Amino acid sequence: MRTPAAIRPTLNVTGLTTEEEIRFVIRSMKADTTPGLEGRALECIHTLDIRKLEWGFNGLLLLKEVPWSWAKG
């Protein structure tokens, strides 16, 4: 089983995630897929503040902190 500790060394961050990258990924997600491990459907993701997502992703990646749900997925 993958764990956050096992993934941490593989996080070689070379730059920050941009708002445009996050928007691209959200737009490329299929609407008919099942919700993720947290149970969030795509409709919920579209309502999130992209700037806050960007801040959160970059903080986690720079600190090399991996949530359990990322390790499972």
> How confident is the model over 12-38, as pLDDT tens digits?
667 788 999 989 988 888 777 666 666
pLDDT at residue 20, rounded to an integer = 92
Of residues 42 and 6, more confidently modeled: 42
pLDDT at 73 over 60: no
pTM of the model: 0.63
Which has the higher per-residue pLDDT, 46 or 38?
A: 46
- Give the C-alpha separation, 72 to 19, whole Å: 25
pLDDT for 35 equals: 62
CA-to-CA distance for 10 and 12, rounded, in angstroms? 6
